[in-house]
Structure 1
């Protein structure tokens, strides 16, 4: 059972803090119009350190969450987080998404965010998730398309930094553009999309707290986590890298600065088999 390689060399604690800050800021965007009935079993594969687990439990207090991840340390962090907030209707399981430790048709719903883009075989993962899903259940996947990120002002160095970040994600075996293809992948896995929606995030200086938080807690750390890899591999000059990261960070302080990024959310069900 292998842990997912994201191409990241970021300090684990810092990475967890960044992901939790991002999840809190984006929860209304990601979870709009979502809700799970009391008593329903919700599988969250690739739960990581529990950033979405906590939100699922808070927004669906009567549902039961099964949070799965291959990394023991991440599961321990997630368990400590939800227990500290008195959220206890959850089970944490160490397991591989490609070989779920679950029987067929055992969960009512599946919810995952930022998972498939890191996997070498996203369709295989979706097929395995569908196997665990009850016939009347739903699967909700949320993925980003890193090529959709636009920012101003955009220096050449900042653009090179972002391109190097996407290169690192690709060489790690993932697909940084996966969000834009999410609906197609779900169909190829034998699922029936009910809804595929772009979830656009646009922030500018009028949203001071969100702008600074998004830049400082998401964009800059997300890029910096691959510095060692892209510089050592000669993907980008270290001087260009440092200027680019500085330019990205400065966007938050510019009166004409903005960031625009698009996530994609697909909600799907099983295609009924012929009896």
Structure 2
């Protein structure tokens, strides 16, 4: 694996979830839990050049490597700490066709048309200008190349028993991300974003995660370790900014955990978009 350091530009908001070891663990749990739902149709042919834009700690990179073992994958991440964690994650797996690069997706060291495919997962929600990012990435695609984008949408969260306090805690995270220039509900925007960036044949599919007691793996892996853990990570900042009282916050977290009991249910929708680069720029 190659490690290349680039000057980072101020193109992203501060990562709202933080970059702690606990957050890295959450991302890995999330990726493992959602592999079938999000990636059953993610595959790149042997020898194809794939750019993963925003690889984080390597959680999705591992899945790409497993699903497309013959593809030549270049994974880029702006955070040096995250790229180090990604290297630690991937090194024991001996995925020798993966290169890790520390760099800014708004200023990458690649010539136009350098890649056959681009993969972007849980990245656009953190960018101040996701449309500009997609336009930059499109320049790096060969004519006929494809892009795949996966994002969540916090506004798609529904659960039983319903709770005003639980919904308020979720809105705190949405507001924190918006204040930093991001969009926690960006999943619903993928179709117009890709169309406006110049991609053709844009197709979006919804990937709903539905959880009840008959799916204990999802109760543990998604509702508890992915979603609730993500919301809990926003507590300190939400309280510091006066978005919610500590009493209401604690009630909200208790009610979110209530959905994981035997009569509770939880659902959340991700969106997966694909597009084609027809015109060479």
Q: Same fold (TM over 0.5)?
A: yes
Secondary structure class of the residue paired with 2:47: coil
- What stretches of structure 1 of length at least 5 have no aligned partner? none
1:21 to 2:29 alignment:
yes
- Describe how 1:11-160 pairs up with structure 2 within 5 A: 12-160=20-168
2:5 paired residue number:
none
TM-score normalised by L of structure 2: 0.93
> SS of the residue aligned with 1:218?
helix
Task: Give the Å deviation of 1:246.
Answer: 1.6
Partner of 2:271: 264
Contact 2:53 2:75 in 1 (8 A): yes
SS at match of 1:252: coil
* SS, match of residue 43 in structure 2: coil
Deviations 1:220-247 (A, max 9, x none): 1111111111111111011100111121
* Equivalent residues of 1:6, 1:174 under 8 A apart: no
Q: Deviations over 1:95-117 (max 9, x none)?
A: 11111221100011001111101
Does the 8 Å contact 2:53/2:77 carry over to 1? yes
User: SS at the partner of 2:260?
Assistant: helix
**1:132-187 deviation per Cα after TM superposition (whole angstroms, max 9, x unaligned):** 01112100000111100111112221111111111111112101111101010001
Residue 173 in structure 1 maps to residue 178 in structure 2: no
**Partner deviation per Cα, 1:45-83 (whole Å, 9 max, x = no partner):** 110000000110011111111000111111111111111
Checking the alignment, whether the CA contact within 8 Å between 2:204 and 2:273 is kept in structure 1 is yes
Length, aligned pairs only: 273
C-alpha change, 1:15 and 1:208, in structure 2 (3 Å) is same
Counterparts of 1:231-250 in structure 2, within 5 Å, are 231-250=239-258
Q: Does 1:5 align with 2:13?
A: yes
Distance 1:27 1:7 in 2: 23
Normalising to structure 1: TM-score of the pair?
A: 0.95
Match of 2:228 among 220, 223, 244: 220
CA distance in 2, matches of 1:237, 1:196: 38
Alpha-carbon offset, residue 6 of structure 1: 4.7
Spell out the pairing of 1:202-213 with structure 2 (5 A cutoff): 202-213=210-221
Runs of 4+ with >4 A deviation: none
Q: Check the 8 A contact 2:205/2:271 in 1, yes or no.
A: yes
Q: SS at the partner of 1:210?
A: helix
Q: Is the 8 A contact 1:192 1:269 kept in 2?
A: yes
2:159 is paired with a residue whose SS is strand
Instruction: State how far apart, in whole Å, the 1-side matches of 2:59 and 2:228 are.
Output: 19
Aligned to 2:201: 193
